[in-house]
Amino acid sequence: MGDHVVTAAVPAGLPAGADDLSVWPASTTRLPDGDLAVGGVSLSELADRFDTPAYVLDEAEVRGRCRTYRDAFPDTDVLYAAKAFLSRAMVRWVREEGLGLDVCSAGELELAVTSGFPAERVVLHGNAKSPRDLEAALRLGVGRIVIDGPSEIARIAAAVGPGGRQKVMVRVVPGISAGGHDKIRTGTDDQKFGLSLADGSAQHAIARILGQPRLELTGLHCHIGSQITEVKPYLVALRRMVGLMARVHDAHGVALPELDLGGGHGIAYRPGEPVLDLTALARRLRAGLIESCAAAGLPVPRLAVEPGRAVAGPAGVALYRVLAVKRTGEKVFVAVDGGMSDNPRPALYGVRYAPRLIGRRSTAEPRTATVVGRHCEAGDILAADAELPGDIRPGDLLAVPVAGAYQLSMASGYNLVGRPPVIAVHEGTATTLMRRETLDDFRSRDIGG
């Protein structure tokens, strides 16, 4: 899925592993003077042309990762999780590569449909769907609505109206703790999503839905967490979900035809970190599903998976310019022109990145530094324990790989800095997908003066 072997010698002044490009897009190549090219375009030239901070998105990497999923899961519905990153271009790439789409709001849904994505290939999620979310889903003909709580059953049935029928799934909490941080573990009963398997909430909701003539229950859904790098938690979830399907069949005589196991597939943010083996996941899920269904006397349902980060994350690179370098005791702080307004993830749940100096070749000895943002928060840290050349200085350019997911999509207007642009690169050409947010944008929203 884009990881590649680099055999060139490590340049002088770089620590062991610092020149490892394994977490960068597969198109990444080295240029003279310490620069890198992604998609055939120099990153330093992109910084000069589009200014910083900026996001670079490699179209070929996105498409390649979509194809990897299609190849690994040939008899499975692969739905791209739009919350990771969505734009009109991303909608087109995902559609052309044959994936479906998983959305969480009317905004994501309407952007997708108005960009040409077929609504029947879209699944709507959300633990607190607004009236506008449901109205848009029904008006546009969304393929599935995932029911997350008991109050949604009557709300959706009433909104469908007489003569209508909406396909729905039930989000089940299978009681599994998996994922890279407490804030991204969604498979246990102590968080806000889904209906519990343990206390009977899921079974009760299923019975109510089956009694609603305006709702068609197509299957069950679960999502156990994010940044999961082992296959075993998915297999445990699979067995528990099939067990619930068997109980539904026994109680109601209904064999549900679909099973969505969500996403959360782990990727590496720094060289050497573990990743989820997609080929092993697909093979063992298929074998486990067939075995479990045979034991339960059930027909095999169609599987669905929902990768987001694993498609978009490794395709993105963030570019920053160094504004200041401060040495405080033994610590070195490297301050850049972005921060938590364009990437809140390190502050939210401790994500660790591997920034790299580009645009000049340094022969200085490496030093551990903390890359910080420009915002008025002590927690505004972009990369802790980053290995950078000891002569890092204002004006230098830093490139941060694996920046394509949950960064711009979570960006804010803090300090009125403005969100960065997104620049697509492909076969030597750079195209602006999203322009930089400007002071004029902020002023146009501020209508009360």
Residues in a beta bridge with 423: 56, 432
What is the pTM (predicted TM-score) of this model? 0.92
Q: How far apart are the first and last CA of the chain?
A: 51
Length in residues, the chain = 449
Average pLDDT (67-94) is 98
Told to judge if 104 belongs to the known catalytic residues of this protein, a careful annotator would answer no
And the tokens for 181?
């941080």
Half-sphere exposure of 146 (CA within 13 A, CB side): 28
- Strands 381-389 and 366-372, how do they pair? antiparallel
Pinpoint the residues of the chain covered by CATH 3.20.20.10. Answer: 73-307
- In this prediction, residue 330 carries a pLDDT of 87
Per annotation, catalytic residue among 66, 104, 222, 376: 376
> Which tens digits make up the pLDDT trace of 369-410?
999 999 999 899 999 999 999 999 999 999 999 999 999 999
Centre a 10 Å sphere on the Cβ of residue 94 and count the other Cβ atoms it contains: 25
Q: Which CATH superfamily is domain 73-307 in?
A: Alanine racemase (3.20.20.10)
Confidence of residue 190 (pLDDT cuts 50, 70, 90): low
pLDDT score at 131? 95
Q: Which one, of 213, 98, 221, lies nearest residue 154 by Cα?
A: 213
Q: Which amino acid is at 241?
A: M
Using alpha carbons, select from 445, 409, 387, 442 the residue that is nearest to residue 20.
Answer: 387
Q: Judge whether 373 and 417 are in contact, CB under 8 Å.
A: no
Query: According to CATH, where is 2.40.37.10 located in the chain?
Result: 29-58+313-444
Confidence of residue 329 (pLDDT cuts 50, 70, 90): confident
pLDDT of residue 191: 56
Q: Average pLDDT in the 177-184 region? A: 50
Token look-up 């711009």 returns 408
Rounded Cα distance between 315 and 319, Å, is 13
What's the burial of 287, exposed, middle or buried (CB within 10 Å: 0-12/13-18/19+)? exposed
Give the pLDDT score at 189: 55
Rounded CA-CA distance 169/26 in Å is 37
Residue that the structure tokens 């026994």 belong to: 250
Structure tokens at 230: 């082992």
Superfamily of domain 29-58+313-444: Lyase, Ornithine Decarboxylase; Chain A, domain 1 (2.40.37.10)
pLDDT in tens, 207-243: 999 999 999 999 999 999 989 999 999 999 999 999 9
